[in-house]
Structure 1
């Protein structure tokens, strides 16, 4: 007797808006096979499934769970969003969250083997320990002042007959009163003017004077000076974003991945269990002792899975199911500047909120 192929549309007992388990897995999971991942992007609208964004559903389903938080790195889960929103946060963190970085170098003397341009480039990439939220942007029409500019001085020399000196980032000294270099003028009767016009010391500003505006890392090598060589310069730092130059990017790296889901469709015992555990170098699987000398393989840490595919090679098809949850993202942020990684994410949320507000205003 021939068997009739029945689709989900022919099932009268399936309520509108709900799917059978195997179809719901296709809709919400990305599956990985030995040759390539399989993804069904159908909207399932004919079955009454609405994939449009709903604010009420988003508010009830969206969650953020912090997994690990250190001074320079955070790993957290964002649950209940799609890849577009996760990627928006990633792009904002890289390119639109502002930081302070050295932009202008006033070179007084450089007799080292490092060319002026290369030394200036190295100085620009040094992370500064300065909160960008208390500073203003410096536009082309603005004058440098205590609210939009930070001035550093580098003055290191190696005397003749002395051993070589390694110039590091801790040689940069903050000048809270502004530039100490004078602008040369042809009119000697005019008043001497420096390159920055601070009306007051940055030490006197309550929002800035909480701590010295130094560098984040003291051991960054800038140059090496031999006997008789010296470097004297001033470095002016301003506020900017990574979209203009990578030196203003506040993160070393930020990335996300969908939550891995590893499932064993049947029990794997004995030597087969030991072989499966040895296949995975990340300890996704473990051995459970059943007693009486029997052992079986269990999924111990599916979160560590990187989809290398070793566990599904040379095993019966369907024994190990590798999937990714499409609305659950593991997000990692590595900070390099003055702001902690959790503060960076909060700033990214504020920027995205401003973007949404501007769009609403333009459409209304």
Structure 2
């Protein structure tokens, strides 16, 4: 098997080939694949396709799948964030039960830098919250009739005051040193999250304590809504050029933008990245042995969607730092034993 074929997962009409990994990443018997930092620097590459405050797509090129997947798992489960953990309900006369209301509040993502916060000791029943480990939020809303509502309206938002309680109604309670750590305060990442609907005579009055946590404890602490990757698709046209009506049919076998047709009427691969590897082209006998599908084993296309607690690039950088710390701990353990 050639070096190029090694780096590809084969896609055939009835199976996927070359999926097995080696005992050690990049190692093949009878060849020298010893670790070399300069070679790694030369082969490793990061390409950012787009980056916003909530979404990003970037390519990691030149890594083994075990390392690439470690980043994904760390982003989902091990990066600390702040979330509501304790809800002290003083009054709740809405139709939402206390437990459901508390659960709903806990799932609201919060915009707050967790760097300065300490871990709250939940295992100690006598532990008292402090400004170093707990952020306090308040929610107080009461629904009343609106005396100035337009005649004949049936819209609850016009008929009543505080008919809908939103995340924007949550208030941050400043404590101790926290103004230095949170100069912009602590607030929900999306102010339009609906918490409850109230009618006249109903009210909600409660206090929330937010602490540090990680996604493997509860999904509410995960900084990502989704974090996934896929391998870069590869499409090779083999043999004679595909032309004429056959080129049109060939193009229709792929998602839009994958295949183009040049001024000679020949099909060519325009952007394999857009392909979903549907294998539709392999269903047609006229394309047998004329196209080769695959995926590049060391080219990972990451998609990270943040909840808003931190930006996608921050999340990825924190996953790199966490993996490095894990390696350092493991290295010290091996040296000590």
TM-score bracket, shorter-length normalisation = 0.7 to 0.9
- Report the Cα distance in structure 1 between the residues aligned to 2:323 and 2:81, rounded to whole angstroms: 17
CA distance in 2 between partners of 1:105 and 1:342 (Å): 32
Aligned residue number for residue 174 of structure 2: 176
Quick check: 1:29 aligned with 2:8?
yes
How is 1:53-64 mapped onto 2 (pairs within 5 angstroms)? Answer: 53-64=35-46
Q: Paired residue for 2:91, among 93, 97, 109?
A: 109
In the alignment, which residue of structure 2 is the partner of 1:68?
50
Q: Which residue of 1 aligns with 2:216?
A: 243
Decide whether the 8 Å contact of 1:134 with 1:208 is kept in 2: no
Q: Could you tell me which runs of 5 or more consecutive residues in structure 1 were left unpaired when the two chains were aligned.
A: 1-21, 178-199
How far apart are the structure 1 equivalents of 2:19 and 2:33?
13
Q: 1:236-287: CA deviations, max 9, x gaps?
A: 1111100111000000000111111111113110000011112223321112
Unaligned 5+ runs, structure 2 = 147-158
Mapped contact 2:281–2:287 kept (Cα < 8 A): no
What are the equivalent positions in structure 2 for 1:284-323 lying under 5 Å apart?
Answer: 284-290=258-264, 295-314=265-284, 315-323=286-294
- CA offsets, 1:314-359, max 9 Å, x none? 1332212111111111111111132110011111111001100000
The structure that has the greater radius of gyration is: 1
The alpha carbon displacement at 1:107 in A equals 0.2
How many residues of Structure 1 are paired with residues of Structure 2 in the alignment? 313
Matched with 2:190 is 217
Please give the alpha-carbon distance, in whole angstroms, between the structure 2 residues aligned to 1:223 and 1:40.
49
Which residues in structure 2 correspond to 1:143-182 (within 5 Å)?
A: 143-159=128-144, 162-163=159-160, 165-177=163-175
Corresponding residue number in structure 2 for 1:127: 109
Normalization by structure 1: what TM-score?
Answer: 0.81
296, 312, 316: which one aligns with 1:325: 296
1:169-218, Cα deviation, whole Å (9 max, x unpaired): 111011113xxxxxxxxxxxxxxxxxxxxxx3633x2x322x12111100
User: 1:231 — aligned with what?
Assistant: 204
Distance 2:55 2:171 in 1: 27
Does the aligned pair in 2 maintain the 1:269–1:297 contact within 8 Å? Answer: yes
Match of 2:69 in 1: 87
SS in 2 for 1:97: coil
SS at match of 1:289: coil
With the length of structure 2 as denominator, give the TM-score of the two structures: 0.88
> How much is the aligned-residue C-alpha RMSD, in angstroms?
1.9
